[in-house]
A and B are shown apart, each in its own frame.
Chain A
Amino acid sequence: MEPNAEIQIPMQKPMNRKRGNTNLFRRLYGQRYLQIMALLGVAWMIVFNYIPMYGIRLAFKEYIGVGDIANAPWVGWTHFQAIFEDDLMLGVIKNTLGISLLKLIIGFPLPIIFALFLNELRSLRFNRIVQTISYLPHFLSWVILGGILITWLSDVGVINDALMGLGIIHEPIYYLAEPKYFWSIAIASDIWKEFGWSAIIYIAAIASISPELYEAATIDGAGRFQKMWLVTLPCIKGTISILFILAIGNVLNSNFDQILVLKNQVNESASGVIDTYVYEIGIKMGRFSYSTAVNLVKGIIALFLLLLANSLTKRMNQSSLF
């Protein structure tokens, strides 16, 4: 830092104010290639991120799908008021929160536990093999997994076959046709697909813990579980809180790709979530303005949740996302 500072002093010549603007243009021209490269990115973001954001004004208009959005009449808060009168809304919110929160409660600790126990394996080779296998489902698409699930859960599928073979049930159950099973299916399959992948960050965090800490704990007479609880967990606390903040920010985003594959007209009452609702009433029924309003409310609440989780974890310990 110090030697650099000395060298940089002569380069910062006092700038003549009158010539400041021409100087800026000259400097811009000097780095014109860099500026063009940067501006191409900016242009892309304007076209594919910012113009769609501007399209949110749809929520305050009455747009029926044809013609220019700019010409559609303004209707103020009408669509937002309609959300409160929508009978389907309550069920959709219940499903979104129910599936997400249960996924969080069950699915969030599992990768941590998996990483802790993986760390206790003596054979590094076996450790690697287990890791590799556990990541694999993350790379399969939900369509493929949905295909497997639908096959397994059908009336003649593996699950019914096994349960009937064991004498637990006597009649085949149509799991995906009964709403009461949907949440369990969604949660279990999501955990199956992602727990190994989610563990990677914890595995890396655990790998960076100094071995001296474990040696000291051993000398103090700590057992395996005590070391996990008193050394490993406190060392990865920061990682856990950051991932927790991100998970809270995602509570309203149910896994759209997953739900859309597993959802059908019979399990609708348990599988309709905000995201699929927006898709169905927006794209399929053409209620563009209303579904934009629903999505906007969802986005604002999600951002609020993220900020809330961030400030809570900041208060509890020092690590936070921003």
Chain B
Amino acid sequence: MWTRDRRTRGDWIFDNLNVIGMLLICFVTLYPIWYVLVNSFNEGKDAMTGGNIYWIPRDFSLENYTTVFKNAGIMTAMGITISKTLIGTVIHVFFTAMVAYAFSRRELIFRNGYMIFGTVTLFFNGGLIPTYLWFRDLGLLDTFGMYIYPAMFSFFDLIIFVAFFREIPEGLEEAAKIDGANDFSIFVRIVLPVSLPVVATIALFHGVWQWNDYFTGVLYTSSEYLQPIQTFLYRVIAQSSSNQIVGATGGAINRTVTGQSIKLATMVITTLPIVLAYPFLQKYFVKGLMIGSLKG
């Protein structure tokens, strides 16, 4: 009340315009997502012939979704995405944190050398072609490992881990050392459990990246049994390779689903896990970005 009394007329106008502006921004951000959702629940043929659907489904139908869930190709791609996200994230976080723990210990001999060695990788890289050819020579093409090994480690994430590990009181590690534990078991049993916030942050970022990455699949796999859902969608959307979608509809002409409606339903299923997990994970990514931006 106190603050409201001090508001001038100009302040009042400013505040209201500001709120209206912000509401407009929220609308512009959310509406395209809503549009996809609504259309994915509408009968495909009706959506195609009856004009645009803007607010609520005109002819509600679950058939787009049942078709997607019955489709073996889409489900395989979904399985690849889920497994590469889970496996890739666990390995990335564990491996990067382990190296970071070693790098964070001041008594590590050659520590400065290791840090310089890593910092170089932030500024230089081989680029698309040499990397592609090297992975080809390694035999990674058309393997599931392609999604895991090259993404196991990131020096940028290491810097964030190191900043966090530095804050852990040394007394914790000393006690374990007296008990005769080696550095690896100190890392696993003591350091990792107390570092949950930073582990969650890095896991979230890497998980989202794994989930959303489509280019690795485009570049390194030609097998449709290895393509993640994002790569499948890329091939359907950008290259409009309709034969994948025709395959998805099962070639059934009497059905009411269309290529477009299947596409929208797949897009919703692909995005749903991120949108659902999003509010719970929000506190972690803001924190993580702060650490990253201060140290990076």
Task: Show the binding face of A for B, using Cβ within 8 Å.
Answer: 24, 27-28, 31, 33-38, 40-42, 44-45, 48-56, 58, 69, 114, 117-118, 120-122, 126, 129-130, 132-137, 139-144, 146-148, 150-152, 156-158, 161, 192, 196, 200-201, 204, 223-224, 256-257, 260-264, 275, 278-279, 282-283, 288, 291-292, 295-296, 299, 303
Does B107 interact with chain A (Cβ within 8 Å)?
A: yes
Pair B290/A204 contact, Cβ less than 8 Å: yes
Q: Which residues of A contact B30 (CB under 8 A)?
A: 133, 136
Beta-carbon nearest neighbor of B292 in chain A: A201
* 5 smallest beta-carbon distances between A and B, as pairs: A52-B126, A55-B130, A41-B99, A141-B212, A37-B102
12 CB-based A-B contacts, threshold 8 Å: A33-B183, A52-B131, A53-B126, A114-B25, A120-B14, A120-B18, A130-B22, A144-B267, A144-B271, A201-B289, A262-B238, A278-B127
Beta-carbon nearest neighbor of B118 in chain A: A45
Stretch at the interface among B67-75, B145-153, B195-203: B145-153
Does B234 interact with chain A (Cβ within 8 Å)?
A: yes
| B-side interface size class | 35 or more
User: Contacts A24-B109, A38-B102, A40-B98 hold; do A48 and B36 have CB atoms under 8 A apart?
Assistant: no
Pair B234/A143 contact, Cβ less than 8 Å: yes
Assembly CA distance A312 to B203 (angstroms): 36
Pair B282/A261 contact, Cβ less than 8 Å: no
Beta-carbon nearest neighbor of B151 in chain A: A48
Does B105 interact with chain A (Cβ within 8 Å)?
A: yes
Query: What is the predominant secondary structure among interface residues of chain B facing chain A?
Result: helix
Task: Show the binding face of B for A, using Cβ within 8 Å.
Answer: 3, 10-11, 14-15, 18-19, 21-22, 25-26, 28-30, 32-33, 35-36, 51-52, 54, 95-96, 98-99, 101-103, 105, 107-110, 114, 117-118, 120-121, 123-134, 149-150, 152-153, 155, 158, 182-184, 187, 208, 211-215, 219, 230, 233-234, 237-238, 260, 263-264, 267, 270-271, 274-275, 278-279, 282, 286, 289-290, 293
Residue from A28, A201, A260 within 8 A of B293 (CB atoms): A201
Pair B230/A33 contact, Cβ less than 8 Å: no
Q: Which residues of B contact A130 (CB under 8 A)?
A: 22, 25-26
Assembly CA distance A54 to B30 (angstroms): 46
Pair A37/B29 contact, Cβ less than 8 Å: no
Residue from B18, B105, B212 within 8 A of A121 (CB atoms): B18
Pair A28/B109 contact, Cβ less than 8 Å: yes
Assembly CA distance A241 to B30 (angstroms): 31
Residue from B28, B99, B125 within 8 A of A38 (CB atoms): B99
Name which of A48, A135, A137, A223 has the most chain B CB atoms within 10 A of its CB: A48
Q: Which residues of B contact A161 (CB under 8 A)?
A: 51-52
